[in-house]
Amino acid sequence: MKKQVFLYFSALLFTSILSGQELNHFFSTLAKNNLYNGSVLISKSDKNIFSNYYGYSNIEKKEKISDKSRFPIASVSKTFTSTAVLQLQQKGKLKIDDMVQKYLPDFPYHNVTIRHLLSNTSGLGQYYNLFTEVMKNQPDKLISNQDIIPEFINQKVPLSFSPGDKWEYNNVNFCLAALIVEKISGMAFRDYLDKNIFKPANMKDSFLPENRRVKEQNQTELYTYPNMYSMDLVNIENLEATFPVERRSNFYGNGGIVSTALDLDKYQKALFSYKLLNKKELEEALTPAKLNDGKTASYRFEEKEIAYGLGWQMYTNENEKIVFHDGFITGLTSMLMHNITKNETVILLSNAANPVFVTANEIFKIMDHKPYKMPVQNLSRVYGNLLESGSKEKANQLIEEYLKNPNSYEATERDFNRLGYQFLRSQKTDNALLTFASATLLFPNSSNIYDSYGEALLQVDKKEDAIKMYKKSIELDPTNENGKKVLKQLL
């Protein structure tokens, strides 16, 4: 018996060593190719089998990322909000099928429940353009959760659908859920998290800032590419925000938490060992929500059917249940992914907005000693950069080389379409036309690409060539009504 136990643990140790070596090769390659900048922590059976740090927390000052580097975790914060609400249910303070109005009396929609909030099925309006007048009339105001309901009332914002009819990702849902936690607990949300989640999980480097515009010690700077054809990262502080409210708000519950990879690992271990929630509440969080018609609240992403529970996303992979939440803000991507069946966890925090969903899934393959795909550079970015620098011959050669070896780069129809339109909006029409022309070689069966190419040709008065592109688009997709309409006007 002792010999069997010894052999078992020896095999387990050997397997972990092999996984660690392969994971090190995987991330070292990514970092070398400028495809990952951030923290990584991977655990199996509650044991950390790999952790490392790549790149800089501050590129300008050449400060390297370390185990103490703190990152905004963006929408991974939603799992904390869900946990907080379910803790209150566990204590008998609320029921998630209670109406929101029971706790927030001014809330103007009578048929929205807490469950609708946590499952993103409420039908509430988004906040991106909700505060235009507020920002105009009060230029110094820092907009927060407390400002959402008054604007819903003032502007008489209608629901976009009846609660429970559809699934729609919406940050407002979790902002309101955080307000409910504050109302019931009598504590600021940041204080509630600290007392009931951070401290019990021993998360010493995590916090919810009072003002997320003020960086704390060891907090990373955030970087991104300013356009689709840039090869150099830029600090987001030097870029204009996509939505003005991003620089004028301090929303929480939907995001906002700042943490480290090690602290997030402590969080998942405490959560999945029932130290933060009991089994009943945790299973409720990890059960796919049902819509009013009985269908599962879900969406398609990377060829997977992703269901949404209560602040958690989930899918099955060869009968294994995987739960996760990712996060994205300009210059930041985050991932907390947990394979419940195998008790494996992947935590990724990147302050250069590197892709995390695909990377996490490839990591699970490595851990299971299955064939995996090494992430490669984005073809459209390299191609666009060559065009922008005037190297059109090299750009064409790049496309030819890719067609011979499609594994050399990552190429998607969506990226090339976006690149073409970005050139077009920037009045770089020659580059736009070259991009769409190359895209027809890469994606010859794409009706959308030919439609876009036709639109670009029209903008430079190449009517006959545009007609050919629209005809090809309709040939590939006879249901392209917009293409038919434009073609009718041209003929």
* DSSP of 74-141: GGGHHHHHHHHHHHHHHTTS--TTSBGGGT-TT-S-TT-BHHHHHTT-S-PPPSTTTTHHHHHH-TT-
Are both 13 and 155 inside the same structural domain? no
Give domain status of residue 221, yes or no.
no
Query: Would you state the pLDDT for residue 18?
Result: 47
CA-based R_g, the chain, Å: 25
Q: Do 83 and 164 fall into the same domain? A: yes
Position 295 in a domain: yes
Which CATH number do you get for residue 392?
A: 1.25.40.10
Greatest alpha-carbon pair distance for the chain in Å reads 84
**356 found inside a domain:** no
Domain assignment present for residue 12? The answer is yes
- CATH number of the domain residue 129 falls in: 3.40.710.10
Look at residue 43 and tell me if it is in a domain: no
Which regions of the chain are under pLDDT 70?
1-18
Cα 420 to the chain's mean position, in Å? 24
SS3 160: coil
Q: Are residues 263 and 153 in the same domain?
A: yes
Whether 111 is in a domain gets the answer yes
What is the pairing mode between strands 320-329 and 332-339?
A: antiparallel
288 and 433 assigned to the same domain: no
Residue 24 and residue 400: Cα distance in Å, rounded? 32
Same domain as 438, residue 296: no
User: Contacts for 357-361 with beta carbons within 8 Å, 24 or more apart?
Assistant: 357/301, 357/302, 357/326, 358/302, 359/30, 359/36, 359/335, 360/324, 360/335, 361/302, 361/317
Same domain, 405 and 469: yes
407 and 269 share a domain? Answer: no
Claim to verify: residue 83 and residue 24 sit in the same structural domain: no
Report d(CA 180, CA 271) in Å as an integer: 21
Domain boundary among 305, 325, 345: 325
Tell me if 264 is assigned to some domain: yes
What is the model's pLDDT at position 405? Answer: 95
What pTM does this model have? 0.90
What is the domain extent for residue 6?
1-33
H or E element, residue 349 = strand 344-350
321 plus 420 within the same structural domain: no
Is there a single domain that holds both residue 409 and residue 288? Answer: no
Would 296 be classed as within a structural domain? yes
Q: Is there a single domain that holds both residue 3 and residue 106?
A: no
* Whether residues 165 and 260 fall in one domain: yes
Q: What is the domain count for the chain?
A: 3
